[in-house]
Amino acid sequence: MGMTATILTGILASILASIFFNEFVQWRPLVVRKLIALAVRRLPGNQRDRYLEEWTAHSNEVPGDLGKVIVAIGCLVAAESMAGKANVFERVFAFTAVLFLVPALALIFFGLLASGTRPLHVTHSEDETRLRFSTPPTLLGSFLYQTGLNDLPMLLTVVAGRHSLGDFSLRRILNLLKDEDR
């Protein structure tokens, strides 16, 4: 009886190991994609596309299914340390900017409120929330949109740590200043 139970236990363990291995092989691509996507979401916005491409290519080059999962976990750890360094500077900078811009933010907010529009426009997507001033079809709304000042409330999301300065559309303001120099 003891020998039969040992043989049956060995056969059952072999069958279960084979089933778990086959399941792991089937689930591995999804797990790796999700881990890399999670890692990329923790990076500043201006680096996400680059690292998504690099880390996906790197994980595809690693041989073996377990190796690919280990690389994806490594990407998650790397993203934590990369985002932490940039995030502290960005949050301090954004907080300082908000302190200096409180009068302008209040003026724009109450100006939009007086014009009869909802002052803040919130957009939700899968992984982020965008906070902006509304840009009604008025002189004030047009000015806010053309100068990029409608994006100033995004600094509050940077201070909260949900956004990065790389996502902030300062390029529009810089382009406007370049156009004025010509």
Q: For residues 133 and 108, what is the distance between their CA atoms, to the nearest angstrom?
A: 8
| Amino acid 152: pLDDT | 74
Domain ranges of the chain: 2-80, 86-181
In the predicted model, residues of the chain with pLDDT beneath 50 are 167, 169, 173
DSSP 169: -
The CA-CA-CA angle for residues 155, 158, 162, to 5°, reads 135
Instruction: Provide CB contacts within 8 A for 100, sequence distance 6+.
Output: none
* Phi, psi (degrees; rounded to nearest 5) at 131: -120, 120
| Amino acid 135: pLDDT | 73
| Amino acid 32: pLDDT | 86
Determine the residue type at 51: Y
Please state the pTM of the whole predicted model: 0.45
* Phi, psi (degrees; rounded to nearest 5) at 117: -110, 160
Q: Could you report the per-residue pLDDT of 28-53, keeping only the tens digit for each? A: 888 888 888 888 888 877 788 888 88
Classify residue 97 by burial, with Cβ atoms within 10 Å: 0-12, 13-18, 19+: middle
Determine contact, residues 166/145, Cβ cutoff 8 Å: no
